[in-house]
Every structure is written in C-alpha cells, then in structure tokens.
Structure 1
Amino acid sequence: MQIRIRPYDPGDRETVVDIALRAWEPAHRALERTLGTRLHRQVVGDWRRAHARDVREDLDSEEALAWVAVNDHVSGFVTVRFDREGGTGLVHLLGVDPDQQGRGTGTALTEFAVDRIREEGMAVAVIRTGGDEAHAPARAVYEKAGFVASPVVHYYRSL
C-alpha cells in the first residue's frame, strides 16, 4: 500500500478529528485504569471534547502546519509547531486510523514531520507521548525514527 502525504485541507477537518479520537481512545482507557475512574474524570474530564477542541485548534491555527496521510482515504494526520527562537520543531499531534495502524502510516508521518522541521532550519525535533503500555506502539515508531526518550512522570492525587 502506497502512503501519500499531502497538506491538510479544511474538508479533511472532521475526518481528522474522528481519527484522533479513535486513535487516542486506547490511551485514555489505559490512563483511566491507572488513575481510577474518579481521578481520571477529575484530571482529564471529557477527554473526547478536549481533544476534539485541541485538534481543531491546531488545524485552524496559523502557528501549526498540518498534513494528512492518504492511501485510498485519509488514514492519519500530523501537526507541527515551531519555536524558531529555540530552534526546535514540535510534532504536536499525530494520529493514525486504528484500522490502518501497523502499516507504516505513523512512521511515514513521523519521518515527513521531521523532514519539514529540518527544512525549516530547526536544530532539534521534539515529539511527546505516554509511557504506558497503550503508547508502546507510538514509542516504537519514534525510537525507530531516531528520537531519544527523556522520561517524565506525572503524579496525581484526588483531594
């Protein structure tokens, strides 16, 4: 299957939001198992609503660049933000249709984003993901692309 990456088009908007929510659902189920339902609600709230808003904001923002992966349909997306003063490019959002995962789409989007960051003259590319089991496939893609992990731990306590 040939993966083509093209610039995001506003007509892709709701497809991209749908992909993001379906792609990130397993991570939220894992986080809820880790935190417990009550604390998860307190920390995350309505994650679907929040993530849909975040994706739409990136797609609409002049500060973020967005592309979609297409085989026979839109199968993934990536957004990139730049800190030109700091010389870094952030792969801000990346999602792959769950039905297309494991077929190279995430790798293609990651490599494409890194190439764009390099072309913009940035010295460092940054990407963030979770450390739980649900994010293991994403970490594998990023490590394969040459990213080095810097572990961060967040602690939460319900009051």
Structure 2
Amino acid sequence: MDIEIRDIRGDDRETLLELSLRAWEPVHASLREALGAVLYDRMIPDWRVSQRTAVADAIDDGETLVRVALREGEIAGFYAVRIRSEEDMGEVTLLAVDPDHQRAGVGVALTGHAVDWIRDQGMGVAMIETGGDEGHAPARRAYEKAGLAPLPIVRYFQAL
C-alpha cells in the first residue's frame, strides 16, 4: 500500500470538490432509496451543491485541518478534522475516497492518520459519524478496520 498523506495545497481545492462528488454519488443514491424520494428531496434538494459547500467550507475554515491522500501520484482521498477541546475529542467531519482508489486501503490510511493526529493534539477521544445505509457500508468497514468502535444510533424522519 503506497499511500502518502500530506497537507492540502492551494491547487488541490477543485480536485477535492470534484472528488467529493464522485465519492458521495453512490451514498446519496442509497440515502434517496432509504428515505424515499419525497423525504430525500425535501431534506437534500441538491446534494451536489450542499456537498461542494461542505467541502469548500472545511477547506476555508481555519479551525479545520484538511489533509489529502496520494496513491500512485494522484489525489485519492482526503479528510477534514476539527478539535473539540471542551469534549476532549477530535472529530473527523469529512472523509472521502475517489471511487478509482476505493478498496485499496486509502480510507483506512486516512482514518488512521486522522486518529493519530487527534491523539497528537492531546485529545482522549476520536469520533467520526457515518450512515447505517448500504451506501455508507464501505465507510463503516474502513473505520472499523482502523480501530474505531461503532455506536448504533437511529434517527427517524418524516416528510410533512
């Protein structure tokens, strides 16, 4: 597994924005199926816009650390992490792996790197949240391989 993780650079921005759309497309298809079209469309009217905004906000936020993974010389994924000192916790707020690099250990490497960084900041807990739907299954596998323990939580929604 030849994966290098480095700080984000200014010219990485558009690559990460586009990568996030490719990575989360199957996730949003799964969410739409799980929630139903009416509810999903009310909750997430345009997932591409909200996804790009979330990634851009993380990149621009001075309190969020963003790092990228390189595999075979290409950007293969990234993570964003924030420290929540008052809770003795670091939270991985975003993690994405380009579909062309999935199942190659990139997600596990990114997760492990983020957890190590959180530990190095003196935090006692690392946290990452993901969905329980089929589209998030690869993320759950990567997080568990990296040593994180799941806490099942169920949220219920209804279109009104």
The TM-score normalised by the length of structure 1 is 0.97
Instruction: Work out whether 1:54 is the aligned partner of 2:54.
Output: yes
Structure 1: distance between partners of 2:38 and 2:82? 33
Quote the residue 1:120 is aligned against: 121
| Structure 2 residue aligned with 1:133 | 134
Task: Count residues with an aligned counterpart.
Answer: 159
Q: How does 1:1-159 map to 2 (within 5 A)?
A: 1-71=1-71, 72-159=73-160
Corresponding residue SS for 1:153: coil
Give the letter aligned to residue 157 of structure 2: Y
For 1:104-142, what per-residue CA distance to the aligned partner results, in whole angstroms no more than 9, with x for missing partners? 111110111011000000000000111011111111111
The alignment yields a C-alpha RMSD, in angstroms, of 0.9
Structure 2: unaligned runs, 5 residues or longer:
none
Structure 1 residues 66-100: Cα deviation after superposition (integer angstroms, max 9, x where no partner): 10001211110001100112110001100000010
Q: Find the aligned partners of 1:145 and 1:2 in 2 and give their Cα distance.
A: 17
Kindly state the Cα deviation for residue 44 of structure 1 after the two structures are TM-superposed.
Answer: 1.3
Q: Distance in 2 between matches of 1:45 and 1:10?
A: 30
Q: Give the match's secondary structure for 2:86.
A: coil
State the alpha-carbon separation in 2 of the partners of residues 87 and 158 from structure 1.
36
- Offset at 1:64? 0.1
d(CA) in 2 for partners of 1:153 and 1:43?
Answer: 17
TM-score (norm 2): 0.96
Which runs of 5 or more residues in structure 1 are unaligned? none
Give, in whole Å, the separation in 2 of the partners of 1:2 and 1:141. Answer: 17
Percent identity between the two aligned chains: 48
CA contact (8 A) 2:70 2:77 kept: yes
